[in-house]
């Protein structure tokens, strides 16, 4: 359980590995006919690259966009555990825990930029749940101001459609596009406020993949294209039940009331009376979750199975635990251990729909450890465990506290 050394200085990308990084990235994206366009307005590295984060392919697209220059990448602990600390450091990764403020990460980013290497940041911190922009930190503008180098955005299209978060195991072959654009030169950055930078970056990073797909006329004909969608769309629009959604081939079905929707080749849900957008259903669930939370007005409990990721050596099973959600924090109890995750410092909640084939879970982190929480034996008095529902409420609690402060 020794914590990962987040303060350790990152190394420059190993020059002997660069050909393999670029070569592997090219091979992994070749079948998607990736096209990268650039408008850098004459700025040269180092710059801060702020990228959207739809899916796993983004890790291959970013090195190609930065080619032929080296870069360092801000990365969560999962990658270090999956590929090994030595290799991940050699490819230029900077360790971080999701949604945990850490000055050492900022220092390491600044160190890389001062050394002459660009830094790539994925501010959404997780893959997109339904093809729209995930939560973006409200401190992004201030961070860019502190870095003091040109700010470049990298906006990717097609990555989510190829491997939607709720079915990343099965790949759809769709064209991918990426645009790299300088939004602030060094001089423009100095003359802009953090609020102005934040607003501009927020607007630049917005995307809706199903709208993009329809506008481009891209058909996804895969017979099982809807399988897994019920993990994100967990609540029936007709009977409001949260325990009965399922998918089969191209159909989203409620097993309780029998209502069904067909996922079209353009990613829309076609019912008997209306055609629904997946992102609209998702945001409707958010509103429903917030209304439910407001009405409950008492702590909720979840029985969970806990795995810890303190460092790059791998996961440590901690057994059964109890997760409590109240208006101030998430509180995790594992035997005699008690860990508190305060809402006001934790901006969002990492969701996973089938993490490494271990099932649905959420991840809550401290500076010393990431806790992967899977639903365990259901207590009748507990709230049903839906990772997306917990994410919605966690984000609402954070923003409610931020509004109270302001």
Alpha-carbon distances, residue 221 vs 87, 156, 172, 294, 305 (angstroms): 38, 22, 9, 41, 38
Question: Where does 205-349 have alpha helices with state H?
Answer: 209-216, 278-296
CATH topology of domain 298-405: PH-domain like (2.30.29)
Give dist(CA 130, CA 96) in Å, integer: 24
Residue matched to tokens 């270090």: 80
Q: How far apart are CA 161 and CA 130, in angstroms?
A: 9
Work out whether strand 350-352 and strand 337-342 pair parallel, antiparallel, or are unpaired: unpaired
Three-class SS of residue 97? coil
**Rounded to whole angstroms, how far apart are CA atoms 112 and 46?**
9
Q: How far apart are CA 188 and CA 181, in angstroms?
A: 14
Distance (Å, whole) CA 53 – CA 123? 8
* Residues forming a β-bridge with 152: 49, 182
Query: What DSSP letter does each residue of 122-161 carry, written as one string?
Result: -TT-S--SSSB-----TTHHHHHHHH-S-EEEEEEESHHH
Find out whether 283 and 131 touch, Cβ atoms under 8 Å: no
Question: Which CATH architecture is the domain 18-216 placed in?
Answer: 3-Layer(aba) Sandwich (3.40)
18-216 matches 298-405 in fold: no
Cβ atoms of 360 and 349 closer than 8 Å: no
CA distance 361 to 387: 6
Nearest to 397, CA basis, from 340, 348, 361: 348
93 exposed, middle or buried (CB, 10 Å; 0-12, 13-18, 19+)? Answer: buried
Q: Which residues of the chain have pLDDT under 70?
A: 378, 406
pLDDT tens across 181-191, in order?
A: 999 999 999 99
* Main-chain phi, psi angles of 255, to 5 degrees: -75, -15
Residue 297's pLDDT is what? 81
pLDDT value for 406: 65
Q: Residue 90 is encoded by which pair of tokens? A: 């050699």
Over the stretch 160-215, which tens digit does the pLDDT of each residue have? 999 999 999 999 999 999 999 999 999 999 999 999 999 999 999 999 999 999 99
334 and 317 Cβ atoms separated by less than 8 Å = no
Q: What is the pLDDT of residue 273?
A: 86
Q: What is the pTM of this model?
A: 0.95
- Contact present, 328 and 342 (Cβ < 8 Å): yes
- Per the CB < 8 A criterion, the answer to whether 383 and 303 are in contact is no
Q: Which residues contact 131 (CB under 8 A, 6 or more apart)?
A: 54, 160, 161, 164, 207, 208, 209, 210, 267, 278, 279
Asked whether the beta carbons of 14 and 90 are under 8 A apart, the reply is: yes
Contact 339, 366 (CB under 8 A): yes
**Angle (nearest 5°) at CA 21 between 148 and 183:** 30
146 CB contacts (<8 Å, ≥6 apart)? Answer: 106, 110
Q: What stretch of H or E contains 194?
A: helix 194-204
Domain boundaries, the chain: 18-216, 229-264+267-294, 298-405
């Amino acid at each position: 359980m020794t914590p990962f050394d987040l303060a350790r200085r990152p190394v420059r990308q190993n020059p002997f590995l660069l050909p393999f990084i670029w070569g592997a990235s090219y091979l992994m994206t070749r079948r998607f006919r990736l096209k990268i366009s650039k408008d850098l307005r004459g700025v040269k590295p180092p710059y801060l690259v702020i990228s959207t984060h739809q899916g796993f392919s983004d890790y291959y697209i970013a090195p190609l966009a930065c080619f032929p220059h080296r870069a360092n990448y801000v990365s969560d602990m999962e990658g270090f555990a999956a590929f090994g600390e030595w290799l991940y450091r050699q490819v230029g990764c900077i360790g971080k825990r999701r949604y945990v403020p850490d000055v050492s990460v900022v220092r390491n980013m600044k160190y890389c930029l001062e050394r002459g290497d660009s830094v790539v940041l994925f501010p959404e911190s997780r893959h997109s749940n339904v093809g729209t922009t995930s939560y973006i930190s409200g401190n992004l503008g201030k961070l860019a101001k502190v870095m003091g180098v040109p700010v470049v955005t990298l906006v990717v299209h097609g990555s989510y459609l190829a491997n939607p978060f709720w079915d990343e195991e099965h790949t759809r072959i769709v064209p991918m596009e990426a645009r790299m654009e300088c939004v602030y030169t060094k001089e423009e950055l100095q003359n802009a406020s953090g609020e102005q930078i934040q607003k501009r970056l927020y607007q630049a990073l917005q995307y809706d993949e199903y709208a993009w797909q329809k506008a481009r006329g891209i058909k996804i004909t895969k017979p099982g294209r809807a399988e897994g969608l019920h993990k994100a769309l967990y609540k029936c629009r007709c009977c409001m039940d949260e325990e009965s959604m399922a998918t089969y081939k191209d159909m989203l079905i409620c097993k309780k009331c029998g209502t069904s929707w067909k996922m079209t080749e353009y990613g829309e849900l076609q019912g008997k009376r209306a055609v629904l957008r997946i992102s609209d259903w998702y945001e409707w669930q958010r509103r429903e979750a917030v209304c439910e939370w407001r009405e409950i007005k008492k702590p909720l409990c979840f029985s969970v199975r806990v795995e810890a990721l303190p460092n790059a050596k791998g996961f440590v099973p901690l057994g059964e635990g109890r997760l409590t959600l109240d208006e101030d924090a998430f509180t995790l109890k594992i035997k005699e251990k008690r860990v508190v995750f305060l809402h006001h410092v934790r901006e969002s909640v990492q969701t996973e729909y089938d993490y490494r084939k271990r099932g649905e879970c959420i991840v809550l982190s401290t500076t010393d450890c990431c806790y992967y929480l899977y639903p365990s034996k259901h207590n009748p008095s507990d709230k049903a465990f839906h990772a997306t529902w917990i994410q919605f409420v966690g984000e609402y609690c954070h923003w409610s506290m931020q509004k109270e402060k302001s």
